[in-house]
Amino acid sequence: MITSATNNRIKRIVALGQKAKLRREEDCFLVEGTKMFLEAPKNWIKEVYVSESFLAKCSFREVLEGYPYEVVSDEVFQKMSDTKTPQGILSVLQCPHYDIEQLLSKPNALLVILENLQDPGNLGTILRTGEGAGIDGVIMTKETADLFNPKVIRATMGSIYRMPYLYVNDILTCIEELKSRDIAVYAAHLDDSVCYDVPDYKKGTAFLIGNEGNGLKKETADKASQYIKIPMQGQVESLNAAIATSILMYEAAKQRNNAK
């Protein structure tokens, strides 16, 4: 059992939780909790750490058989954990990788494109809601928040295992490629927009969502097939990025379900 927080393996785990650069270098990420462990694809799991009290109070030993797990003291586990009340199990997982062909593998793909979204909670919520709405993937600029930030992972509630994603260097080129493949790209934008429920989303569709504070860059928005907006009442000027994206995704899902 590891009882020292200065143990090199423990220091590495703490660094993996804090540093996106290290996660990229090692091509792995952390998940915490029983649910996240049980739902993880088995071939993604590289290491498992459990607290002494977790192992003592649960009938989890049989589930852990076959995994390279390490027991650590409760005090050390607290230092490893990114949460105030750790559940007692933490896993190191291999990062998945996807390409554009996988995101477009189904007819009439439904996608979300995120330009420089910064809030980890928003990003995780979009993945989780996107899975619920049945989208086929999320495309992000390099400046978007790190998908494998522990806060993002928690917000996905397991959707990180099932939602294809792609980071792109050039969002403008990406939009042009999508349009060339008969994917209509709709920009969430206030200027010269139609109400979000007017366009037909039953064919290939991608929703373009901008940064929480600044919205979409002009050159990015200009690449869209059409501007759409969500009507506001009262003195509200805009919605939270994750909520707005959710409304758009579910409008597309509704149209597609009604067409069946």
Tens-digit pLDDT profile for residues 97-129: 999 999 999 999 999 999 999 999 999 999 999
Tell me what pLDDT residue 65 has: 80
The pTM score is 0.94
Q: Which fold has domain 100-258?
A: Alpha/beta knot (3.40.1280)
Closest listed residue to residue 221, CA positions, set 211, 236, 208, 206 = 208
What average pLDDT score do residues 250-254 get? 98
CB 194 within 8 A of CB 229: yes
pLDDT-based confidence at residue 217 (cuts at 50, 70, 90): very high
Q: CATH number of 8-94: 1.10.10.350, 1.10.150.170, 3.30.1330.30, 1.10.10.10?
A: 3.30.1330.30
Give the Å distances, CA to CA, from 132 to 47, 135, 198.
29, 8, 22
| pLDDT score at 67 | 85
- How far is the C-alpha of 7 from the C-alpha of 140, rounded, in Å? 36
In the predicted model, what is the mean pLDDT of the chain? Answer: 95
pLDDT greater than 90 at residue 236: no
User: Which whole number is the average pLDDT over 30-52?
Assistant: 95
| Percentage of the chain exceeding pLDDT 90 | 87
Spans of all domains in the chain: 8-94, 100-258
Closest to 207 (Cα-Cα) out of 120, 147, 126: 126
Whole-number pLDDT of residue 140: 98
Nearest to 26 by CA among 42, 47, 41, 43: 47
DSSP code of residue 196: T
Over residues 168-180, the mean pLDDT reads 97
